[in-house]
Copies of this chain bind each other. A is one copy, B any other.
């Protein structure tokens, strides 16, 4: 298809499509003459993914480029490719950017103990072994340390039911991912699912709170 068709089928304005091409977020089409190029389904899929990251995930262009570099790296094995792409995404930090991890900080120490106890009860041995090599682990510890510091401590019992639900969700996610035909498509899907589902989850939580409050105390 031509560039204009790509815009039309994706619902992305043509000027935006051209911007993504210039920024290298969308690979160039196959040249068919001096002024025109041909685009295919892989361009459409990539365009939707870029749009999702920027529009829904509010992810900076430089980060999108970094994530896609891992998605496109055919030299990586399946797990490393998928992991590298996910790890390049921004993490919900729960602390001021640039706060240095302070080993002496009692809130941080409490958070580390809590996360370790939680992972042990969950039987998440890989996450436990990876420890703070994993950005999700680091971000979780930082968030729980902040809550502790602010006087809102949580314990493993508070976290366990949420973690179990997220585990079930991850099984579904990986089932879908593994059905895709190529490692590139698998990595693309994993990124899309990480980014797109987060606002859904948070809005479901807010809606549940409103429902329960209304049940107890009326409208």
Q: Which residues of A contact B (CB under 8 A)?
A: 11, 45, 48, 51-52, 55-56, 78-79, 82-83, 86, 91-96, 124, 126-127, 130, 134-137, 139-140, 143-144, 146-147, 149-152, 154, 159, 161-163, 165-171, 173-174, 178, 190, 192-194, 196-219
| A-B contact sample (12 more), CB < 8 A, given A91-B206, A162-B169, A169-B208 | A92-B199, A124-B211, A126-B210, A136-B210, A150-B192, A159-B204, A166-B201, A169-B205, A171-B212, A173-B212, A194-B209, A197-B205
A204: chain B residues at CB < 8 Å are: 140, 159, 162-163, 166
Q: List 9 A-B contacts (CB under 8 A).
A: A56-B95, A56-B146, A79-B213, A79-B214, A126-B210, A127-B207, A167-B212, A170-B205, A201-B205
Q: Least Cβ distance of A87 to chain B in Å?
A: 8
Q: Which residue of B lies closest to A45 (CB)?
A: B151
A219: chain B residues at CB < 8 Å are: 79, 126, 130
When the two chains form their complex, are residues B48 and A199 in contact, meaning their CB atoms are under 8 A apart?
Answer: no
When the two chains form their complex, are residues B206 and A154 in contact, meaning their CB atoms are under 8 A apart?
Answer: no
A86: chain B residues at CB < 8 Å are: 206, 209-210
When the two chains form their complex, are residues A203 and B11 in contact, meaning their CB atoms are under 8 A apart?
Answer: no
